[in-house]
Structure 1
């Protein structure tokens, strides 16, 4: 229970002076209070900052850096979207960190480090070297203020729907390293009317440049209203998601809810 975890494992440490926190995300909230996590996770960070600052008599900074690992993979064939929803909610629905609701934070994406045959179970992938490397980049940039250091994978800056040709152009702010073309990692949601529930269909990648990926939406017989990427428990094989930057940092999953 949350109160037991707090009383037994956090409260006894409050008088210690912390430099920062690293949080390795578990899977429990994928099955309990899933869609509250965009509120509860930022609230936990804010509360820990307040509590440790007060408990250490001000020796712990009130906005100490907080790094976290985005939820990894579990089951290759899982059909529901609970894992990607938690990954999205870990960022307070921004898709990246830091952001306005989660200042002085940084994130390590881990959805491409799947390990189906891990002796500890697939929920515990063995490759922690890449997790640590991605966290250390974030710590150098956010906690230690190293300027010009790239610590996040590429994220979309613009999406343009070409309805006449059934194409969607997704532009990224970083130069892309394209590992492979993928038929299902991007999906679009199509609806005929604004209030009508839309249906998700694959949007195959048809071309790519240094900053833009072009998708086809042949299964969309209505307006494309939403777009998402890597929205699956197990979106790709080990270190083989389609999009990285030149520093081999993977593009994080995202969902964009309103396209025009």
Structure 2
């Protein structure tokens, strides 16, 4: 990341690495930030308590002026649906708290809204594993439930998508993929756009705009429109799309997988089997909602003229039924 910025701007890039593997986000958050999320647990994991690493490995730097921060974490919090949902609060409040404490600690020499970049969780496990697991929930929560940053909850924040960079044969374990270059390219491109103001750069990947479904009796067809498409859409897989089905007499939601049919410049069509007997078609379509959704750099949706950026994982409501 630092090398790519240096190659672009030809000025020294200083990076301070303060990290501890296998740790959860509450360890890097102050008691002030955790209190905003009603954190009351003093649970220790591997001998660490909430705010331990904030106190020891972040707070000592808050009198040192910085330009921004980058973050790559989340695996240790991917343990349950409840923790996935709580992570949304943890992450946004931690960023606000870091910004405030650096702003105050450096006598306003660090911006109150300094740029904050992160890497969405990479893939883990077997390529294309049908189990959703808890990684998709953390990926979603990292974006504040919007699917993309910056947004109202996470202003001046940028990210790199890494869910298509799985490495199931990594000698370090699949949770530690060996390809760091694509992560760096994606993060530095987003950083140059958001943190350094180069708005001419393409860095987001295609983003969903709307989803329309048509009942064809035997199947259900969905048309998904995209924005932020540079050149056109590219596809390397027919899979990754799921349609929600809801029990008519209850609140249980299940998901059925579809098959990509056509890829046009700014939209795709996907065929889904009908929902199980007695179930109604739900309200949403989701994409890449897996621990490891595809073979390396071969997911369903990409765009870019000089480098292909993947569409981030998303959930989109169905806007129209025909």
TM-score, L = length of structure 2: 0.76
Deviations 1:152-205 (A, max 9, x none): 1111011111124621100001154323341x4100012364964232000111
Give me the whole-angstrom Cα distance separating, in 2, the residues matched to 1:181 and 1:69: 23
Of residues 243, 264, 268, the one that matches 1:188 is: 243
Compute the displacement of 1:119 (Å). 2.0
1:72 aligns with 2:122: yes
Contact 1:114 1:125 (8 Å CA) reproduced: yes
Of residues 163, 168, 177, the one that matches 2:222 is: 168
Compute the displacement of 1:226 (Å). 1.4
**For the structure 1 residues 78 and 157, does the alpha-carbon distance in structure 2 shift closer, same or farther, using more than 3 Å as the test?**
closer
Contact 2:260 2:270 (8 Å CA) reproduced: yes
Give me the whole-angstrom Cα distance separating, in 1, the residues matched to 2:207 and 2:241: 13
Residue matched to 1:27? 75
1:145 aligns with 2:201: no
Pairwise CA RMSD of aligned residues? 1.8
The secondary structure found in structure 1 opposite 2:85 is helix
The secondary structure found in structure 1 opposite 2:162 is coil
- Greater CA drift, 139-148 or 89-98: 139-148
The secondary structure found in structure 2 opposite 1:61 is coil
1:56 aligns with 2:106: yes
- Greater CA drift, 98-107 or 192-201: 192-201
Residue matched to 1:210? 265
The secondary structure found in structure 2 opposite 1:51 is helix
Give me the whole-angstrom Cα distance separating, in 1, the residues matched to 2:140 and 2:70: 18
Deviations 1:71-100 (A, max 9, x none): 011112472430000000100000001111
Give me the whole-angstrom Cα distance separating, in 2, the residues matched to 1:195 and 1:26: 32
Contact 2:210 2:318 (8 Å CA) reproduced: no
1:122-137 paired onto structure 2 within 5 Å: 122-137=174-189
- Could you tell me which runs of 5 or more consecutive residues in structure 2 were left unpaired when the two chains were aligned: 1-48
Residue matched to 1:155? 207
Give me the whole-angstrom Cα distance separating, in 2, the residues matched to 1:234 and 1:153: 18
Contact 1:156 1:170 (8 Å CA) reproduced: yes
Aligned residues: 259
- Could you tell me which runs of 5 or more consecutive residues in structure 1 were left unpaired when the two chains were aligned: none
**For the structure 1 residues 177 and 230, does the alpha-carbon distance in structure 2 shift closer, same or farther, using more than 3 Å as the test?**
same
Structure with max Cα Rg: 2
Residue matched to 1:226? 284
Residue matched to 1:179? 235
Give me the whole-angstrom Cα distance separating, in 2, the residues matched to 1:227 and 1:78: 16
Compute the displacement of 1:259 (Å). 4.7
Give me the whole-angstrom Cα distance separating, in 2, the residues matched to 1:197 and 1:29: 25
Give me the whole-angstrom Cα distance separating, in 1, the residues matched to 2:133 and 2:226: 24
1:13 aligns with 2:61: yes
Give me the whole-angstrom Cα distance separating, in 2, the residues matched to 1:225 and 1:85: 18
**For the structure 1 residues 98 and 160, does the alpha-carbon distance in structure 2 shift closer, same or farther, using more than 3 Å as the test?**
same
The secondary structure found in structure 1 opposite 2:309 is coil
Of residues 287, 293, 302, the one that matches 1:244 is: 302
Residue matched to 2:163? 111
Residue matched to 2:134? 82
